[in-house]
C-alpha cells in the first residue's frame, strides 16, 4: 500500500479511518478498465478458501486447493477445502444485486453506518444464527460490504483476512477486528490488483503475435481464470498439443508462468 496510508490502530476511530482509506483506494483501483477483475476475484477467493479451511483445522495451502479443483474429473466431489473455494467462486461470479440481502437493524444509526460497520453487523448476525458456517457468514458480510461500496461483485476482503478467533467476538470488539481485517484485506487486494493489471497489459500487448486461431479466446481465459489447464480449460478451443504449445509460448514471452513446478499436469496463469 502507499506509504501515506495510515497503518491503523487498536481503537475504533483510528482503525476505522485506516480501513476507510484502504477501501477508497481499492475502490478507485477497481474502476481501472485494464484490471482483470474476474481474475482478481478468483485469486482472492483462493486465499479466502485457505483461511476458511484453516478455521476448520485443515492445513491445505493455496496451491493444494487449486490443484484439487483443477484436477477434478466430471462427477468427482471436491474435498472440504475445495468446496470452500467453489463457494467463494460462486459468490464472486454472480452480480451482488442477485444475492439475497441480509437484514440490518432498522434504526437510524444502522442506516447511517459505514460500509465496514454494516458488514460487521451482518457477520455477527450470521455467526449467531449458524456458528459453524463461517464461510457462509463471511460471504454475506463481504456481499454487504460490496453493496455499501457500490461494487458489482463480491470481492473477498473480510473472507481473505479475518481470523476464526475474530469471528467469536461481538459488538465493538468485532467491529474493531473487522476494521483491521479490511485494512489488511483491502491492502492485499490493492497489491494484487496492481500486479494483475500490469500482467494483463503485458499479455494483451503480445496477443497479436500469437498465431493460434483460438488465441484471442485463450487470452481472455487467461485474463479471467486463476489457473489454466492446457488439457482441460483450453480443451474446447484447441488440441491438447496445441494448448501446451500455446501455454509454453506465453511463458517464453514472459507473460505467463507455470504454477506447479511439475513436469506433468501443469497449470498456467498470469
What does the chain come to in residues? Answer: 270
Q: How many CB atoms lie within 10 A of CB 7?
A: 10
189 and 160 Cβ atoms separated by less than 8 Å = yes
Confidence of residue 18 (pLDDT cuts 50, 70, 90): very high
Q: How far apart are CA 160 and CA 49, in angstroms?
A: 8
Q: Is the pTM of this model over 0.85?
A: yes
Q: What are the chain's domains?
A: 12-194 (no CATH), 210-269 (1.10.10)
For residue range 87-141, list pLDDT tens digits in order.
999 999 999 999 988 777 655 455 568 999 999 999 999 999 999 999 999 999 9
Q: What is the pLDDT of residues 203-215, one digit of tens each?
A: 999 999 898 789 9
- What count of other Cβ atoms lies within 10 Å of the Cβ of residue 205? 11
Amino acid at each position: 500500500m502507499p506509504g501515506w496510508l495510515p497503518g491503523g490502530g487498536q481503537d475504533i476511530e483510528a482503525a476505522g479511518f485506516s480501513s476507510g482509506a484502504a477501501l477508497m483506494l481499492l475502490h478507485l483501483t477497481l474502476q481501472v478498465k485494464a484490471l482483470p477483475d474476474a481474475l482478481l476475484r478468483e485469486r482472492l477467493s483462493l486465499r479466502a478458501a485457505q483461511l476458511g479451511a484453516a478455521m476448520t483445522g485443515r492445513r491445505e495451502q493455496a496451491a493444494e486447493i487449486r490443484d484439487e479443483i483443477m484436477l477434478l474429473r466430471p462427477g468427482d466431489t471436491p474435498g472440504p477445502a475445495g468446496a470452500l473455494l467453489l463457494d467463494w467462486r460462486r459468490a464472486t461470479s454472480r452480480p451482488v444485486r442477485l444475492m439475497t440481502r441480509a437484514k440490518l437493524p432498522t434504526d437510524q444509526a444502522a442506516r447511517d453506518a459505514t460500509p465496514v460497520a454494516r458488514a460487521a453487523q451482518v457477520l455477527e448476525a450470521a455467526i449467531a444464527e449458524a456458528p459453524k458456517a463461517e464461510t457462509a457468514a463471511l460471504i454475506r458480510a463481504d456481499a454487504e460490504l460490496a453493496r455499501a461500496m457500490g461494487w458489482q461483485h463480491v470481492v473477498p476482503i473480510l473472507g481473505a483476512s479475518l481470523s476464526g478467533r475474530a469471528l467469536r467476538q461481538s459488538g465493538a470488539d468485532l467491529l474493531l477486528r473487522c476494521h483491521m481485517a479490511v485494512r489488511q484485506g483491502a491492502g492485499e487486494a490493492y497489491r494484487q490488483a496492481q500486479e494483475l493489471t500490469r500482467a494483463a497489459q503485458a499479455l494483451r500487448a503480445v496477443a497479436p503475435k500469437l498465431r493460434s486461431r483460438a488465441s484471442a479466446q485463450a487470452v481472455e481465459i487467461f485474463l479471467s481464470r486463476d489457473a489454466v489447464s492446457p488439457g482441460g480449460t483450453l480443451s474446447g478451443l484447441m488440441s491438447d498439443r496445441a494448448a501446451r504449445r500455446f501455454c509454453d509460448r506465453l511463458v517464453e514471452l514472459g507473460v505467463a508462468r507455470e504454477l506447479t513446478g511439475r513436469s506433468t499436469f501443469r497449470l498456467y496463469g498470469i
